[in-house]
Structure 1
Amino acid sequence: MKIAEIIKRIPEIKVRKGDAFLDINYIWADTRKLSPNDIFVLPEGQAENYPKFIESAKNLGVHSILVSSSQLKIPGIEGFTNILEAEGYVGDVHGKIASLLSGNPSKKLKLVGITGTNGKTSLTFILFHIASTLGKKCGLIGTVHIRILDKILETGYTTPDSSSLNLILKDMVDAGVEYVFIEMSSHGLKLGRTSGLELQGAAFTNLTQDHLDFHSTMEDYLDSKFKLFQILESSSLTNKFGIVASDVPGGDLMITKLIAAELKSPIYLMGNSGEFNYSHTKLSLTGSEFRLHRKEKDVPFIEVRKVKTNLLGNFNIFNVSLAAFISFELGLPWENILHSIESIPTVPGRFQVIPSSDNSRIAVIDYAHTPDALENILKSCKEILPKQLICLFGCGGDRDRTKRPMMARIAEEYSDFVILTSDNPRTEDPKSILGEVESGFSRGFRRYETVVDRRSAIEQGISMLEKDGILVVAGKGHETYQIIGKTKTDFNDYEEVKKAFQNWEKDR
């Protein structure tokens, strides 16, 4: 496609220098993927490497570069034959160009974006299960992996960069996929990775403290999440919709922003005052029972249905309920949806239960790495009424430090015993991280132990676990590595817990 045609479709671009009739193949911020007829974009947040990236692009024979007005004076930019200037944020323009040059694949799909601090992964997995069970061809993009029908691909980010994302969506179209469920992280939304997508649906789960190392303020974090609904608003698809969980942390803030924005897209609420809700929850170690409330459109009454699912915990009741309502708004048959949620495959690293061989005690693996997520998992375990609840967790290095003492206070409140251990310390000293976590315990609290080595900590937790007790192993979930310094080594909580149970059973 010629530059002139791109500008005609995306008027936020203007030619500062060069030939508007040059043919363009694609757009990349990754120099390893560039070809001469591509547009190069400087990757966000890597200013110290810009001279090296610019030189690499030129050596590859790349003629065109997209920059913001503030980047025009970066040394080396003037050496490109074509300089395109983006009005506004260059990441958003990058996303729109990637979508255009890949053939607008999202427009050919029913794409549902999910955002929120917690619950994104579980929700997308449940949605994939519901739609697949009902015979739909589905794709999934998120933290654990990318899935195209039955094909699994690994991913390095919750939300891939916009160039990669649109090519993934194109592959899904080519594979015959109809429905795609995608996690939209605050990073991805803020950096423009999802800009230019045509959404069928959007959903917000909650907003609690996380990623303040990236966002700096909760207001910026909220603004980034809100961008999902701005993308929905710009979508040209018919029957598009949004669903916001209202009775959750951050729900009122999101609703306030939506009201102020006066969006024309239909936005429904899940909560006490919303079109959708759930109630009468009943928890056990074998499953969960609850009721779903759905207001009939144009009819002054509410349908209430008693349902059950094999998934455990109040937060999973929330996830299953929201997934059911999203599926309904996508036009899937309500009765079939209710039947499909009775048996849902366990989401990797999300309330993943590992019992001892005699089922006398269990461990629960969960990705909970924020204060809110840790509280949710511990409360859900507490509601099952175990005779003992042990919480094992740590906090990541080179990440938001303010949440460390907060998580300690939560673990103290809900647990009978706490084991502090390493969780991707990265370049920080693991003992220093755990010292900051310990500072959150109340004065005189002694029901905890610090075991820096995570494998040893898991072994200790299993050895301490009493009959009818629960060990929560929080923080890593589906991850299959531990990052110490800048080295990533193999480590899998699920496998380590299984080994610890086997060793304990041999020795007792």
Structure 2
Amino acid sequence: MILEVILKEFTNLNLVKGNPSTSIEYIWSDSRKIQKNDLFVLSDEFTDVQFMSSAIQNGSNTCLISKSSNLLNIAIEKFDNVLTCNSSANQMQGKIASLLLDHPSLKLEVIAVTGTNGKTSLTHILYHFARSLGIPSGLIGTIHTKFNDTILETGYTTPDASSLQLLLKKMLEDGIKFVFMEASSHGLKLGRTDGIHLRAALFTNLTKDHLDFHKTMEDYLLSKFRIFTLLDESNKENKFGIVNLDAEGGEQVKALIEKNSVQSNIKYLGKNCTYDIAKPEISINGSEFIFKIKKSKSTFYRNLRIRSILLGGFNIANVALALSCWVELNIETEKLTTFTESIPRIPGRFDIYYNPDKDRIAIVDYAHTPDALLNILISAKELNPRKLICLFGCGGDRDKTKRPEMAEISERIADLVVLTSDNPRTEEPESILDDIEKGFKDKSKIIREIDRKKAIQVAISKLQAGDILVVCGKGHENYQIIGKEKFHFDDGEEIEKAW
């Protein structure tokens, strides 16, 4: 494709230097991925001039840069062709990548899920429904990307914009019809999801997290809300959004939807909404609830009894959101109710390990935010353990403000708390535990053990018949990051060794 075609498609781009007949193969913001005739994006956070030289050496003669960038003159000096944009270069990358690949998402049904917690669980539940319906589907998220027999480790919840468009193209070529994608706040803010034509956008909740990146809750909220801006920009027909109104952040998102006059069809899950939940029941064998669907232009609801092996009130909300999505996609509700009973366990999400000989339960969960920890402990408490033990740590080089909050929550609900390392990264592990410990009033409820393996052994040694241990923070992860090195570590494996 030549630059002239790209310029005609995007009126906010200007060719300030070069030839509009220049051929462009693809687009990257990573100079290491550049090949001959690729367009190099100088992303908004771009600071290292050496990457320009690297991109040119790898075959690029054209760059895209924001016209407000202080590196514009250097880019003009180095590249034969220079495109400027009036807005964010990050947000243009995905749109141009989509154009270069003939918009793969337009030929797919892409369902994107955002929220602090629940993204992985909800996308897996949606994926289960699709597979049960016989629909070829793909999954993009925290644990992995998978479609047909392909499983990829992308390294991010939401891959970079160019990689994401290539993934969608590959899925399309492999016969995939539906794609269920986690949209992280980082991905939304950095433009990784721009250029994707969404069929649906789902919002789970918004609680404190990632303030090391967003700095304020307002920025975090606005980043999550961008999913509905992308939904409005989508050229898909019959597009829709669903918001969990009863969850934290639901009312804030609704207010933004109304303030910004979102044009897409938005439905809500919550009291007196199109979809609702009633009579939730949770036991060690699973959960049940009444899923309520309000008939169009009526005050009456259709009630469906739903059963699932997934535990926890948060998973009831996830299943209800998934059901709401498929109802909006015009799938018969009778089919959906049968599929809920066969939803498989989701790796590292309320993942139960049971020792029948000693009648002890350990639960592994990815909970690493105050709200997620609260929900997981409440759900474990609902199983009526004789004693509840919580093991957790906090990631290093990440938001420090949540550390004492998580301490307060664990002290309030658990009978005993074992503090240990999560992924300390380059922070001193003892210093992280000191920060957490500041949130405790009663230090007698704490056991400190930096070594996570030993901490799990200590926690299990405290378990008696009828007790439950909740191991939080790492979930599906099979590694631990200490310093700048990654070591194999799996909570589930260590639990089974320690039984």
TM-score, normalisation: structure 1? 0.96
Q: Deviations over 1:188-215 (max 9, x none)?
A: 0000000111000001001000000000
Q: Which residue of 2 aligns with 1:352?
A: 351
AA aligned opposite 2:3: I
Q: Distance in 1 between matches of 2:126 and 2:214?
A: 29
Q: Which residue of 2 aligns with 1:490?
A: 488
- Gap regions ≥5 residues in structure 2: none
- The alpha-carbon deviation at position 76 of structure 1 amounts to 4.9
Answer yes or no: is 1:305 the counterpart of 2:304: yes
- The alpha-carbon deviation at position 298 of structure 1 amounts to 3.6
Q: Which residue of 1 aligns with 2:9?
A: 9
Answer yes or no: is 1:460 the counterpart of 2:458: yes
Paired residues for 1:24-35 under 5 Å: 24-35=24-35
Q: Distance in 2 between matches of 1:200 and 1:130?
A: 17
Deviates more, 1:232-241 or 1:416-425: 232-241
Deviates more, 1:32-41 or 1:209-218: 32-41
CA contact (8 A) 1:131 1:327 kept: no
Q: 1:418 to 1:3 in 2, by over 3 A?
A: same
- The alpha-carbon deviation at position 151 of structure 1 amounts to 2.1
Q: Deviations over 1:200-231 (max 9, x none)?
A: 00010010000000001000000100000000
Q: Distance in 2 between matches of 1:264 and 1:43?
A: 30
CA contact (8 A) 2:352 2:361 kept: yes
Q: Which residue of 1 aligns with 2:162?
A: 163
Paired residues for 1:14-413 under 5 Å: 14-47=14-47, 50-71=48-69, 72-73=71-72, 75-358=74-357, 360-413=359-412
AA aligned opposite 1:460: V
Q: Which residue of 2 aligns with 1:506?
A: none
- Give secondary structure in 2 for the equivalent of 1:278: strand
Q: Distance in 1 between matches of 2:45 and 2:236?
A: 33
CA contact (8 A) 2:38 2:59 kept: no
CA contact (8 A) 1:30 1:43 kept: no
Q: Distance in 2 between matches of 1:185 and 1:126?
A: 18
Q: Which residue of 2 aligns with 1:505?
A: none
CA contact (8 A) 2:63 2:75 kept: no
CA contact (8 A) 2:104 2:168 kept: yes
Q: 1:359 to 1:175 in 2, by over 3 A?
A: farther
AA aligned opposite 2:13: I
Q: Distance in 1 between matches of 2:254 and 2:468?
A: 37
Q: Distance in 1 between matches of 2:220 and 2:439?
A: 24
Q: Deviations over 1:60-105 (max 9, x none)?
A: 2311000001324363542100000011111111110011111101
- The alpha-carbon deviation at position 447 of structure 1 amounts to 1.0
Q: Distance in 1 between matches of 2:45 and 2:388?
A: 42
Q: Distance in 2 between matches of 1:417 and 1:446?
A: 9
AA aligned opposite 1:96: K
Deviates more, 1:55-64 or 1:196-205: 55-64
Paired residues for 1:406-485 under 5 Å: 406-442=405-441, 444-485=442-483
Deviates more, 1:400-409 or 1:380-389: 380-389
AA aligned opposite 2:259: A
- The alpha-carbon deviation at position 251 of structure 1 amounts to 0.9
Q: Distance in 2 between matches of 1:401 and 1:74?
A: 39
Q: Distance in 2 between matches of 1:73 and 1:267?
A: 41
TM-score, normalisation: structure 2? 0.98
Moved over 3 A (4+): 43-46, 72-77
CA contact (8 A) 1:233 1:264 kept: yes
Deviates more, 1:90-99 or 1:114-123: 90-99
Q: Deviations over 1:43-70 (max 9, x none)?
A: 45352xx222111112123110000013
- Give secondary structure in 1 for the equivalent of 2:368: coil
- Give secondary structure in 1 for the equivalent of 2:306: strand
- Gap regions ≥5 residues in structure 1: 502-508
- The alpha-carbon deviation at position 499 of structure 1 amounts to 1.0
Sequence identity (%): 50
Q: Deviations over 1:414-470 (max 9, x none)?
A: 10100000000000000000000000001x441111100000000111111111111
Q: Distance in 1 between matches of 2:199 and 2:459?
A: 45
